[in-house]
Structure 1
Amino acid sequence: MIRAVLFDFDGTLADTAPDLGHALNRQRIARGLSELSIAQIRPLASAGSRGLLGLGFNIKPGDTGYESMRDEFLNFYTQRLCHDTCLFPGVGELLDELEKRNLPWGIVTNKPARFTHPLIETLGLAQRVACVVCGDELANTKPHPEPLLTASTKIAISPAHCIYLGDDIRDVQASLAAGMQPIVARYGYLGNDQPPETWGARYLIDHPKELLAYL
């Protein structure tokens, strides 16, 4: 029996790609490069600064100049954190229904706390969410199971009774390692070379409200 639902944030609960993309394009314009389209940006948005800087500048952690580029990107993102970011269509209704059924819901994300908590507040979720676990709060991030197990402890519900909904292969890997039921948000960013059908999740959904069928 499912007693709680946990969500990834970027690409699952909230569409943050427009504001993340704005920060990346601001960097590109400053260097005389053309803007990337939202269609190009969206698949890499769940990978945060690492994925987007790789897309925009073919640079990766450890490369010369990466840290300064990352700091600039995060500074630009902070300045426009929730301008175009919004909940995915249907997420609001899904959360309403979970609360009607007295099912707690939480957020487990690799996104740092300094971005996650202001977004949750601005989106009107801070007083509703049962727990929030951010990427810089623990020793390990997804795909390690520690963040999901920490969330399970916070809400005092066994992992076996939790669903984890995410849009990245790391979400499925973390969920399986934690002993939770993974479901793939096929409406999300899906920034991986492997099709989501091959990630190891039994269920995939194309709209947030489809999750209700698995409760």
Structure 2
Amino acid sequence: MIKAVLFDLDGTLIDTAADFIRIIQAMCREGSVEVVSAERIRTQVSEGARAMVRLVYPDLEVTDPRFLELRQAFLDRYGADIAVDTTLFEGMDELLIQLEQRKIPWGIVTNKPRGLSEALLKALNLTERCAVLVCPDDVKNTKPDPEPMFLAASQLNIEANQIVYVGDHPRDIDAGKNANMPTILAAYGYLPPESADDLEAWGADYIVQDVTELSDLLLSLVNQ
């Protein structure tokens, strides 16, 4: 029986891509470099700030002071305007309400830093609704290691195998499997191009194409 639901953040629970696209394309124009396409940026959102800078300056070494400066500039911009165009995925709020009405706690396990994650939840009025938030700051080993999954389970006081994890990246599915959690692949999310052609190979227990499918599946699991 499923007693709780955990979500990855970017690309699974919340559609943050528009703000990444806005900032990165502005940085391209200001740096007089070729503007990176929105779709390319979208597929890299889950990889974080370093990946964003690599999209703009692919030949710049990550140890280069200029790279570090650009990464910080991106983070500063993103932190200042973290939810200009960001929203919950369509239908997600209704799903969360359904879980809350059934007394099923939901939470987040993400590789997004805590400061940014908390700011994002606050901007979307989700802070009080989210039962647990686990970020890289909270653990020694991040996803795909199961440590953050076990920490979330411990904070919820629920056995890991009674918690379903929903994510849109292979590391999400691996992390859930490594913690013995049932896993759901959110195929509507920011799928990495190198592994998007064979979703079955990720090894998730379930694959959903949109939030409607996710809602139907989760409600069936928690009602068993």
TM-score scaled to structure 2, two decimals? 0.90
Matched AA of 1:77: Y
Say yes or no: does 1:197 pair with 2:161: no
Q: Which runs of 5+ in 1 are unaligned?
A: none
8 Å CA contact 2:33–2:56 kept in 1: the answer is no
CA contact (8 A) 1:93 1:209 kept: no
User: Given the alignment of the two structures, is residue 19 of structure 1 paired with residue 19 of structure 2, yes or no?
Assistant: yes
2:211 — aligned with what? 208
**Deviating 4+ runs (over 6 angstroms):** none
Q: How far apart, CA to CA, are the structure 2 residues paired with 1:60 and 1:163?
A: 38
Distance, in Å, in 1 between the alignment partners of 2:209 and 2:129 is: 24
Residues 106 and 132, structure 2, Cα contact 8 Å, conserved in 1: yes
State the secondary structure of the residue aligned to 2:133. Answer: strand
SS in 2 for 1:142: coil
Quick one: percent identity of the two aligned structures? Answer: 40
Residue equivalent to 1:152: 153
Amino acid at match of 1:132: L
Query: Match for residue 173 of structure 2?
Result: 172
TM-score by length of 1: 0.94
- Opposite residue 166 of structure 2, the aligned amino acid is L
Contact 1:8–1:171 at 8 Å: present in 2 too? yes
- Whether contact under 8 Å (1:113, 1:135) holds in the other structure is yes
Task: Give 1:202 deviation, angstroms.
Answer: 2.2
Q: Calculate the aligned-residue CA RMSD, in Å.
A: 1.5
Deviations 1:89-138 (A, max 9, x none): 11111101111111110011100111110110111111111101112222
Question: Residue 83 of structure 2: SS of its match in structure 1?
Answer: coil
2:5 aligned residue = 5
Distance 1:170 1:84 in 2: 26
CA contact (8 A) 1:50 1:60 kept: no
Counterparts of 1:204 and 1:80, CA distance in 2: 32
The 8 Å contact of residues 45 and 191 in structure 1, kept in 2 or not, is answered as: no
Deviation digits for residues 145-180 of structure 1 (CA, Å, limit 9, x no counterpart): 111111000101111001100000110111111111
Deviation at 1:192, TM superposition (A): 4.2
**Ranges in structure 2 where 5+ consecutive residues have no aligned partner:** none
- Residues 60 and 137 (structure 1 numbering): CA distance in 2 closer, same or farther, change over 3 Å? farther
* Matching of residues 19-168 of structure 1 within 5 Å: 19-58=19-58, 59=60, 61-63=62-64, 65-168=66-169
Task: Report how far residue 38 of structure 1 moved.
Answer: 1.8
What is the CA–CA distance in structure 2 between the aligned matches of 1:197 and 1:82, rounded to whole Å? 33
